[in-house]
Structure 1
Amino acid sequence: MGETREDPVVDLRLDRAHSARIYDWFLGGRTNFAADREAAGQVLAVFPSAGEAARMNRAFLHRAARHLAREGLTQFLDIGTGIPTSPNLHETVQAVVPSARVVYTDNDPIVLAHAAALLHGRPEGRTAYVEADVTDPDSVLRAPELLATLDLGRPVALTLNALLHFITDDGRDRAHAVVERLKAALPSGSALVVTHGTSDFSPLATGRIMDIYARAGTPLQLRGRAEFRRFFDGWELVEPGITLAHRWRPDEPGEPGERGRPTAAEAVCYAAIAVKP
């Protein structure tokens, strides 16, 4: 008699703060717990505009996705997806191009537990979820779910939203190596969308934020403008180039930061889009 195979039980460690759930709380989501809210409160104590910064970052992703969909891109690869928060990327792009295809990727069991919310798109299009680690980019690029959904011979919009500052270099320049491998796999006409935390404007507050995340087991490596610019080497930046997330074409009414005109010190997140020539 054969054995019945059961899926392994995953310990989500709900008693410990988690970066994805902290971000979910900042966005007004419900997939967070006491430890996450306590850590978020600690962040707010040293950086009161943290919630607004998270929402501005998210709003930039929506603007970027709409821009690229309007420019004719129909394939999107979102790495470091995080906990689903509506509107998700596929909802944004399929509102412009109903036949758009979107692949989400994350290595976090917390995200996987909620991935079903990412798979309900327009019937004309397709969505898929890949469980893989961006630090092993080939595991993303060779995933059967990705290859069944996207045609890597045609342009792809690659989005790395608030992800790369979680890849610490440890003297090996890992984050830039990962991005270069992903860029090399995409054809001419593809786009790269990146947001990244920086300490260029609020070094004291961001240093304290890094300590809070480190205590939660998630070290951060914030990068300056020159390091951020390197992610786009060899590709052509889309106007207005490298800027703060809320300043990248803030043309949608009612977006976070639009009325209050936050300062650079309150935003702490670089953003840019580039296209492969």
Structure 2
Amino acid sequence: MNYVRTKDGVDIFYKDWGSGQPIVFSHGWPLSSDDWDAQMMFFVSHGFRVVAHDRRGHGRSTQVAQGHDMDHYADDLAAVTAHLDLRNAVHVGHSTGGGEVVRYLARHGESRVAKAVLISAVPPLMVKTEANPGGLPKDVFDGFQTQVATNRAQFYRDVAAGPFYGFNRPGAKASEGIIQNWWRQGMQGGAKAHYDGIVAFSQTDFTADLKKIAVPTLVMHGDDDQIVPYADSAPLSAKLLKNGTLKTYKGFPHGMPTTEAATINADLLAFIKA
């Protein structure tokens, strides 16, 4: 299995398939690189090199107690890109992974990067503050932490079967395989990493990071996202980016890279090739 060891001794698992221009995928909370199966299979078949890692404490990476914050996430991503010497890469981040990509670009620069994509991503800021009145109240995320600490197995089942993929919407056809695969990925990771990760994805303010990014960046978001509400995320991020493009998907859920993979993959390919 492929691992890179970080400066603070964490073993980060990664996948590295194919050859050609690299596309690097950063997954959402509390999942793993397996959540990118539909994208990695598509792009490796289209002549790209595809790379995805399991965030620290998630998937097959070390279940450490510390470092579950955006700076460490960005540094771990930088360790993977340096280890594989990736250049002219396209970085794609979903949900929390979108925050990871934004912090990576702002913290480590764009010398290795050609373009970026933020899908259903958490920036600029999820939690409600005086400066961010459209955010979600902090007690929402406190509730998430309580459920992770006390019964995350049931919590993860409920998230996957409900709002994550929009399976709770009238007329929606739920996929048992998708629900179980989400649950499997979540339970493979560590509870401490997931507990701390809720603070990382909800309370990190990416406003300054977004303003630093100059590479062409596509912001993709469904307007029926029940996890990262559309109005307080994608349009705001696109405005803060120097070279951002907003693409809105009517009725698409948070987990649209899985449930709407054909549409998302086609639009990603068009953006990369443009």
Q: TM-score, normalised by structure 2?
A: 0.39
Larger radius of gyration: 1
Higher share in helix: 2
